[in-house]
Structure 1
Amino acid sequence: MSQPNANRRVALNATSPISQLTGVGPKLAEKLATLGLHQVKDLWFYLPLRYQDRTRLTPIGALQDSSDVVVEGEVRLATITLGRRRSLVVKLQDGTGTLVLRFFHFSRAQQQQLKQGLTLRCFGQVRRGANGFEMVHPEYRRVEEGAAMEEALTAIYPTITGIGQTTWRKICLASLQVLTVNPPDELLPHEQTQGIGLVQAIQILHQPPPDVSLSALANKQHPAQLRLALEELVAHRISLGELRTLQTQHQAPEIPYQQELTAAFLKAQPFQATGAQQRVIAEIGQDLMRPTPMLRLLQGDVGAGKTLVAAAAALQAAEAGYQVAVMAPTELLAEQHWRNFERWFGNSKFKLAWLSGKTKGKKRETTLAMIATQEASMVIGTHALFQADVEFKHLGLVIIDEQHRFGVEQRLTLARKGKALRPHQLVMTATPIPRSLSMVAYADLDCSIIDELPPGRQAISTVLIDSTRRASVIERVAHACRDGRQAYWV
């Protein structure tokens, strides 16, 4: 009976463990896992940071200072110098000039290897030294005269301690061989991908041909990069759509929209709510009445009155017997919400609670007990609100400010504290979001926009100033402070 071939290669595919690739042992696989690289396909999308052009030789006589080049020449001298730092100096000549290779860290074996008459091909950055051009610690290898050059640009990968660029290139090349044999399905229509397939895009970005535009790659404008970006955006859009579908399958509290209550709240303010605020309050009120969770993004400039709209929604939820959680990414912003809610509801029947990472000891225990027993109807705080020891009794509405500072999972972690009923969610942002971007980044949310500022409120101007004008910016801020105004640094 014939014995099975113990050396038969296992047919790999996209989902094969990365440890099955040639050259990936247990220790390397463990390091790759810390980067989230577990399967062969993970390497396909682990793209280089930049590229080096090693596809053409540069004559030593044509070298320019601070350039990254490949040179080839014959070793004419290899000696140890004892200047300020002991170094191994190798003089390389190619008929057009002489280049010094300098090594501050070297072994005896390396010294013995670099003998006169040896032909070396070196890559590194050229610097002008006291005696002409030098390369310090170049990459080099012995070659035969006239040996072929690299056929593609050399990829430089993001890395961690213990994984060199040579290792990255070897394992990524091994993953590309799997890609060629077992390519993934094309999911996007051909007419939307500029004629570049998924396999072709991945291959180009790992091994760009010599004639590729380096500036296009550096600016992330190469068609292969745009092809993968489109794939990623579509996948993100679909995943958020699925997430929304899952969320709407939960049951949510049906909170009545009490127009009289809202009208009385707005009338009590020392200013007139804008038409945009009243429109958005009504939109949210309609959402709160549904038996499925509201998932709504509230967008408006700084000063547009988003907090007032959120407070009107909180009032509806609290009046219906549910708790409200208001979360902000920083203590400063959370304290601003606390002061506003304290002004609006401090003397009402609804008790407020404050919780942040700095709430410690007995005070924290008391606050957690207030939340767990629903003694606190409205809870304002930071990331501390979604920690494991925070238990709500009847959470009906979650309000999150500066949504982009939180991840989707963090938002859902807080929402899951609703237990039997999934709370409604209202997230707010002052960051202008183009419609096309919101359709992708916030595909799981409906969108309301406060597109009207209160009377007398000046528009907010956002200005980008070059770093060369730093001194004038400092002077402008100092002048404003001297005039009694305020400034803040983020």
Structure 2
Amino acid sequence: MSKSIDDSVSILPYVGEKRLEALQQLGIFTVLDLLSHYPFRYEDIQEKNLLEIEDQEKVTLKGNVVSEAVVSRFGPKKNRLSFRLVIEHAVISITFFNQPYLKSKIVAGEELAVFGKWDAKRKSLTGIKILGGGSSEQDNEFESIYRANKNIKQKTIFNLVTEAYRNYHELIPEIIPDFLRQKYRLVSHQAAIYAMHFPASEEQTKQARREVVFEEFLLYQLKMQVLRKKQKLIGQGTQIKYDVKALRRFIESLPFELTAAQKRVVNEICKDLRQPNHMHRLLQGDVGSGKTIVAAIALFAAANAGYQSALMVPTEILAEQHMESLDQLFDPLEVRVALLTGSTKTKERRVILEELANGQLDVIIGTHALIQEDVHFARLGLVITDEQHRFGVNQRKILRDKGKEPDVLFMTATPIPRTLAITTYGEMDVSIIDELPAGRIPIETTWTRPKNFEHTLEFIENQLKKGSQAYVICPLIEESESLDVKNATDIYEKLTAYYASRYKVGLLHGKMKPAEKEAVMQDFKDNKLNVLVSTTVIEVGVNVPNATTMVIYDADRFGLSQLHQLRGRVGRGHKESYCILVANPKSETGMERMKIMTETTDGFVLSEKDLELRGAGDLFGSKQSGLPDFKIGDIVGDFGALEAARQEASELVNQPDFLTNPAYEELRKAVGVDNLAGLNFN
């Protein structure tokens, strides 16, 4: 039987049922998966001169064993293995902890190479591993370290990779076309895979990584470009032919004038709605930039054209807020709106589902309740998902599938630099509201140290005396031995005692049941609570205009984007608002965050800084966001390669012979577009 790079890893020696299961837990199913399971770091195992070694540096030392290895025990399950090496006329103490089985490898009078951490003061080495005797030559100066799990060791993975490469290297596909390899001076993929696993030098690994990163990005960008083509060619979408004059009258009836940025994105969205092609658009807007009114305009346009719309949001509180504001806007216009959440009473739910199914309802607002099996639409034309990163890809798809190719609008208040958004969300069009409505009072931000917390409490009380409310945010719910941070429970008890009977303090955290959280939040909205102590569960969507003070404890432990989201919970009314960051930064990065937060309230400026300080993870949220989980590529650190890949992918799919040229065969196969051969891509 002929070999294939897509053979199951079970074909390799020593891969039985248990080992196969362990590999599959790491996402390794085929030989190609195994060869693409790259090391996440490398250990420099080349020998060094004793005079060159810095304290606590990991090094390899080679010398003659001059003492017997002794194992001593301390504690019920702990032991220490000790012996001495002579290196360059110096006697060095070597200690291994909890590895007594190494004793058989240590023979007095023989040469030995040991890798470990150097203690300059004691002139000793804490051993990590024995690399071999003096007679055994190390093939490379760097050792590959792999992501593993409790069921399979990284050394086992390395051995399997070695076996797989030896038997399958000739079958590794060269996906990147030759002209692009030459243009970007990339090594072959076969050479790159070899150097990633068996590096001879740092420079070789760097060149290999360039090739692997570019290939990852190119394939992703091609998939996005092909998806856009496919959506335009066979996903005809819904053509929402609203009455332009009626829509204009609705916009003119609003109690305020749209900002220039709002007008621009409204034009982009409404132009999409009238097209027969499928709308797939991301709407970005900073906290308070007015995304909701833009969504309302799109919802009105769909209703005017006879289509139903669904607005899905992550929390019941946010759903109720949208219901309240949209009902006020639409009620005089006879646009029927309903709210569907997990708390909707059975009888009311039955009526809503019936009216939705027979077309009596124009707009349905809800949480995950919208994706239940018994929710049916008569004519779903538009789906809007607010805070889209809070929903899984499959959840968003279930809602879309309740209509026949409805137009889709995603909204997020997490500012992402425009170029990064366009490149990362390659299959979407991106609209950005990059200015705040006129008259919005900037939030005054200061930072103080924990020792001044009493002054902060006095400041809060002065605001409470004026009839305002305050948030106090903590990173943890209960005490933790591992982190020296204040917790919500402690702060809640402290504030309750401090304000005594004068003011009422509430507590909100993620371990509470949904009904409990909703009740606490409702009490705060109704001003039954003066101060709300909370973890970051209030980060998104809470609108309490009467709250003017936001205190964030241990603020240096949050990223800039998250701090900005939390700050955006105040300043939503007409009163001057304040954000107080309580922190004791122990690093330059922590200090820098505090400084930046006090200098700007521009979310897009902060997002650029957050990219520099923390990377993309903090911006995009969970892995459910739909972003690719690249094996090697970093969309921030490798942004130049990501952008180059986007440009090349765009040019490739617009080539008249992209679907037929043999030079692109491996690319087409990797992207999975051969089944579109009957379509005209131009």
CA distance in 1, matches of 2:33, 2:5: 8
Question: Are the equivalent residues in 1 in contact too, given 2:174–2:190 (CA < 8 A)?
Answer: no
Change (3 A) 1:102 1:364: farther
Q: Could you tell me how far apart the structure 2 residues matched to 1:479 and 1:105 are? A: 57
Residue number among 261, 266, 271 corresponding to 1:281 in the alignment: 266
Tell me if structure 1 keeps the 8 A contact 2:302–2:309.
yes
1:455 paired to 2:438: yes
Which residue of 174, 185, 193 maps to 1:185? 174
Which residue among 274, 283, 301 is the counterpart of 1:316? Answer: 301
The match for 2:148 is: 159
C-alpha offsets along residues 400-447 of structure 1, whole Å, 9 cap, x if unaligned?
2234444555433321110xx211112223444445434432232233
1:122 alignment partner in structure 2: 114
Shift of 1:76: 0.9
**Equivalent position amino acid for 1:121 in 2:** A
- Residue among 33, 42, 56 paired with 1:66: 56
How far did residue 146 of structure 1 move? Answer: 4.1
* Distance verdict in 2 for CA 1:102–1:17, change over 3 Å: closer
Cα deviations by residue, 1:80-125 (Å, 9 ceiling, x for unpaired):
4355566243312124212232343535xx5566454454332233
Preserved CA contact (<8 Å) 1:75 1:119: no
Whether 2:3 is the aligned partner of 1:12: answer yes
Aligned counterparts, 1:208-357, within 5 A: 208-212=199-203, 222-248=206-232, 249-346=234-331, 348-356=333-341
**Mapping for residues 362-401 of structure 1, pairs under 5 Å:** 367-401=352-386
- Aligned CA distance change for structure 1 residues 212 and 358 (closer, same or farther; 3 Å): farther
Does residue 446 of the first structure (1) align with residue 429 of the second (2)?
yes
User: Is this contact kept in 2: 1:374–1:394, CA < 8 A?
Assistant: yes
State the Cα distance separating 1:20 from its structure 2 match.
1.6
State yes or no: 1:199 paired with 2:182.
no
- Partner Cα separation in structure 1 for residue 218 and residue 355 of structure 2: 44
Matched residues in 2 for 1:204 and 1:276: separation?
49
- Check the 8 A contact 2:73/2:79 in 1, yes or no: yes
Q: Are the equivalent residues in 2 in contact too, given 1:53–1:69 (CA < 8 A)?
A: yes
Going from structure 1 to structure 2, the CA distance change for 1:155 and 1:113 (only over 3 Å counts) comes to: closer
**CA displacement at 1:457 relative to structure 2:** 3.3
Corresponding residue for 1:175? 164
In structure 2, distance between residues paired with 1:45 and 1:237: 19
Q: Is 1:48 paired with 2:39?
A: yes
Shift of 1:163: 0.8
Q: Taking structure 1 as reference, are residues 60 and 452 closer, same or farther at Cα in structure 2, changes over 3 Å only?
A: closer
Say if 1:17 and 1:38, in contact at 8 Å, map to a contact too.
Answer: yes
Q: Which residue does the alignment assign to 1:97?
A: 91
Residue 79 of structure 1 corresponds to which residue in structure 2?
70
Contact kept? 1:118, 1:142, Cα under 8 Å:
no
* Structure 2 contact 422–430 (Cα < 8 Å) conserved: no
Deviation at 1:396, TM superposition (A): 1.0
8 Å Cα contact 2:340/2:366 also seen in 1: yes
Equivalent position SS for 2:402: helix
- The letter for the 2-side match of 1:423 is P
* Matches of 1:200 and 1:476, distance apart in 2: 63
What 5-or-longer segments of structure 1 have no aligned partner?
A: 1-9
Distance in 2, matches of 1:265 and 1:208, equals 65
Amino acid at match of 1:104: N
Aligned pair in 2 of structure 1 residues 462, 250: CA closer, same or farther (>3 Å)? farther
Separation in 1, partners of 2:19, 2:439 = 63
Name the structure 2 match of 1:147: 136
SS of residue in 1 equivalent to 2:306:
coil
Task: State the one-letter code of the partner of 2:407.
Answer: H
Gaps of 5+ in 2: 469-547, 553-562, 567-682
Q: Secondary structure at the match of 2:60?
A: strand
Higher mean C-alpha deviation, range 314-323 or range 194-203: 194-203
Q: Would the aligned equivalents of 1:59 and 1:94 in 2 still touch at CA under 8 Å?
A: no
- 2:27 is aligned, of 26, 36, 43, to 36
Deviation at 1:184?
0.9
* Cα deviation, residue 394, structure 1: 1.8
Provide the secondary structure at the position in 2 that maps to 1:417: coil
